[in-house]
A and B are shown apart, each in its own frame.
Chain A
Amino acid sequence: MIPLARVLVRLVSFVLLVLLALGGLALAVFSIDAGTTGPSLARLASLLQLDEVRNAVGDWLGRMEADGPIALIAALCGLGAVLAGLVLLVGLLVPRRERLIVVSRDGEGELAVRRRPLAQVAQALAEQVRGVTEARAKARPGRRAGGRLRMRVTRGPSADPHGVHDEVAGRLGELTEPLGIATRVEVTRPRARVE
């Protein structure tokens, strides 16, 4: 949720900055002249059809004051805008926090490992197992300490799935058990390849 909010903040701020730049450029260009023709503000207002926009918006706002489907749409849009604003605020204000797998914590201090290197090492170990053609690992920290490692390996067509599972689990155990990380290994069949 929070990573999504951060992406939204980046996207919205980029789009708003582009719009601001374009608007500023248009204003600068149309401020060259002072008349109602040529590059003037009056000409810009005419190009943007501001009169018609004002009438349309005024009419719409007038209908929104009364009960009816437009008022309902407006209420829903307002609610959506509030929610979008809250999401953007969360993405902007919630500090970044690195998700570490805390291996041990005592009076001497804390020992932690980042998720990605742990997953990479686990992948490298799994790919050394005979019969494994591909390995994908995902490590997640636990609530207090330790964590979970989910390993998905693809076996070759002739490899025994149980043998591959046991071998991969054994190799990963040497890495994860001392760190208090629970391991789950899934062995999948090779995907059919059409050439």
Chain B
Amino acid sequence: MPELENALRAVGANLDYPAAPDLSGTVRRRLAEGERPREPFLRRRTLVVALAVLAVAVGAVLAVPQARSTIRDWLGIGNVTIRYVEELPPVDKATSDLGLGERVSLKEAEDRAGFDVQVPRVDDLDDPPKVYFREEDRQVGFLYGSEDDPKLLITQAGVGGAVEKLANIDATNTEFVVVEPGYRGVWLSGEKHGLFYPGAGREEPFRLVGNALVYENPSGVTVRIEAEISRDEALRIARSMH
């Protein structure tokens, strides 16, 4: 398509660019005034997943052990179903296994996922994440931090497979959020909720999750962002994904 490419270059050469401002003076003034960018949130907060801490966090909810709970309501976002129950399963069933599958390169993850994997472009995230692929639901996972000490977890999965979340109807807050104009997600906060992997029955170990943003992007990919961060910080990460 060299003709089209040349035509595009012609358009580019004819764009009506505004006069470029002199930024060097303004930038130097801002630096001289000691202005600093916002502190990276990952240095301020950590995602704590130690079971002891989780046990304290959900202790009140799980005071009476109960393997099954009555589902009071449910909500579907992409391949994630959130079921609201009166009580979560006993905490001793919980696991710290992140269930991310195998470590792969980003390219391998993209090839195997079959969808356009998006990567967060937030300056705070200064190290490339560890990339994982889970075959069962073709889920791509980005882990910042380590499996033992995760700071931020982002997963993306196309159609097929199903992740189930159990949330306490009285203690977990659910808030609808607009991630991008035209499509919505939910922000889960408050008491931790349980996350079941695809294919795992209710009696199988589940993972307790704190704050999480869940949304489906316009390509039909379900994105989950988990970290002990605020809703706005999670949205900022979501909106940076390209």
B is bound to A: no
Q: Name A residues whose Cβ lies closer than 8 Å to a Cβ of B.
A: none
